[in-house]
Structure formats: structure tokens, C-alpha cells
Amino acid sequence: MPILTLVPSGIKTEVAPGTNLLAAILAAGEKLVSKCGGEAKCGACHVYVNEGRKSLSKATKPEHAKLDEIVGVSSKSRLACQAQMGEEDVTVEILSFV
Ligand code: FES
């Protein structure tokens, strides 16, 4: 199974392909706020995907729309509640400025 690595904590965990990234991050013991129940409405689950971006599910229109409203968005940005793990290892940065 692919490995999800979280930075800066350094937590590593195996995650089954198709698993929601937010759920995987929380299951790994990391704190990440979800204020909208994972509906791409709050932006609180904004993370940077430093490696393995292409293996994640593609961003949907609602995710793009929400990201457009968020401060600090970069080409590495995803909403963790909207992204699903693929077949490759992924490194996700939990953002301290959110
Ligand atoms: S949990 Fe609200 S946008 Fe992801």
C-alpha cells in the first residue's frame, strides 16, 4: 500500500488507495480541522501536497472554487477532504498558518 508521510510531524502511515486524505490524516493522529463536514466549503482542511500530487484524485470544481478564495494557496494546495489517495506515496504538509 502507498505511504502517506505528514510533515512537519514526520508521521508515516500506510493508506489504501481510494481513502479520503482528510480521514487518513486524522487516522494517523494528526490534527486537521474540518468545519464543513468535508464538503469543500470551509477550507480548513487546506494542505500542501509536496510529493505524489499526480497520484491523488483530481480536484473537483467545488474544490477549485474554494481554493480560489483561500489565502496562501499554491500549486501544491489541495483540500484534504476532497482528495483521495492513489497508488503512489504522498507527502502532505500540514499548514500552521491555517
Ligand atoms: S473540511 Fe471543509 S473544506 Fe475540507
pLDDT digits (tens, 9 = 90+) for 31-59: 998 999 999 999 999 999 999 999 999 99
Distance CA 91, CA 78 (A): 12
pLDDT mean across residues, the chain = 95
Q: Ligand 1 pocket, 35 CB below 6 A?
A: yes
Q: Ligand 1 pocket, 25 CB below 6 A?
A: no
The CATH number that domain 3-94 falls under is 3.10.20.30
Measured on CA atoms in the order 80, 47, 55, 59, is the torsion positive or negative? positive
Which atom of ligand 1 is nearest to 40's Cα?
3
Q: Ligand 1 pocket, 79 CB below 6 A?
A: yes
Distance CA 11, CA 17 (A): 18
C-beta separation of 2 from 51 below 8 A? no
pLDDT higher than 80, residue 22:
yes
Span between the terminal Cα atoms of the chain, in Å: 30
Cut 0.85: pTM above it: yes
